[in-house]
Structure 1
Amino acid sequence: MLETFQDQGYAVFPEFLEKAEIDTLKAAVDEHAAAQPQRHAYENEQIGALVWHPRVGELVDELMGGPYVFHHIHAARHDAGKNGVSWHQDYEQYPQTNRSHLMVHVFFYLNGLNGTIGDLLLVPGSHRYATDSRALTFLGTSDLPGSITVDDVPPGSVLIVHSAMWHARRPKPGGEDSPRWFIDASYGRSGVKWPSYRAPGMLANLRERHVAAGGTRPWLFDETQFFDGARARATMGSLEGSVMLDLPQWQNS
């Protein structure tokens, strides 16, 4: 797993979740998808608890090789006719300049991928290059040089991808009788401050629930390892010219 991940930027774990877990999470995703008004996925009890799933933690521990923090979790049900998602990468950094600290996304395909509704597209090795998250969005879901299509994994499978890898979801026909239940969770290596997620209070809420459930990883939810992501996004949009010239160490040199 480690060799494949370091070289290609992803690793596949077929049938990672057990049937009882799959059924519980499907019901949780349905509940989340039907909620009005829409809530954050972490607020659902079963989805939130997936953040500290013991076997997921073992995999992320190995990949990180040291301390890390949780960043966010999403959940969605993709029904027949669902739109695709254009090429993008999800590494959290403002501006995008380096890949010094590992960030990963854990993709949970509760009923697998079977060539209907949407295929997962990846560009192995693309995680090595710092690029704006939406730089290739204009290409839609067309094949890219070296890209691969993941369209055949069994229910309960997990894919772990480097968050900086270019990926997309290509819409496909079919799936009227079997929607796709999908969850993704993200973690970042400690040592730098990460942009905070768009859900104030999320980390404190999850830490309290984790400890109440007997969890031993409250460090996953350490607010001191984040900075104000909303402010960073707004600031980046207002800057002009080379950002390097605004850095104190450059101005004082």
Structure 2
Amino acid sequence: MSSAVVAGASIKISPRRRAFSYSHTQKTTLQGLSLQESKRRVSDLFLAVSKTKNATRSLDNNKITARTAGASKTIEVEVDKPLGLTLGQKPGGGVVITAVEGGGNAAKAGLKSGDQVLYTSSFFGDELWPADKLGFTKTAIQAKPDSVYFVVNRGGADVDVKRLPKRPAPPRFGRKLTEAQKARATHICLDCGYIYFLQKPFDELLDTYVCPQCQAPKKRFARYDVNTGKPIGSGLPPIGVIIGLIAGIGAVGALLVYGLQ
């Protein structure tokens, strides 16, 4: 808080409130001053008030900028083909989404132009690979026959993708299926909830096929109802129930044996 007395008036300046108050004090301070000098002093004081208000406003704006700067979020989505997006090379390394088609699969999944691509699906399996070089990333995307998993960074500072390690894709259990995957989903693993939606019919798989998520054998799969999200008419209980029953029977048997001794 600062104050000044000019031309018989006391003006108090409050930078925090961006305002000033005016109160009459004494009239005798103008004595001995010319009218031109009095006007000049009043003008200088109001110029100081204006600078104080502008400095306060600038400080507030800097605080708002500091709160918003660096705000970023990581988005993970699975996008059906055709993707409906264009990728470009970032200066200094990395891949960025340069365009997204309106109404396309990428737009429906929530991807936007300007998103930095951190990971995409690999050539094979459920592994995710860092999107370091544009050509390598495009080749990996082209190798996926149906859908591509993306991990992107939106807002804030760029991520140094060269330092990112490979990482496994998130478990299928609990993941929302895309529309194309729903159309192909036929079987579900009873042990972990993995949903089989690949183009090759499940019945044509070898008997040695195992769940890619929990390694359960093929017989642990049941037909899948897309509308209810539940298995259809499975006659085999979950493996956890079987193990529990075996453990329970063993415990009862041990109790009887030791109880008779």
What TM-score, normalized by structure 1, do the two folds share? 0.21
Q: Which has the larger radius of gyration?
A: 2
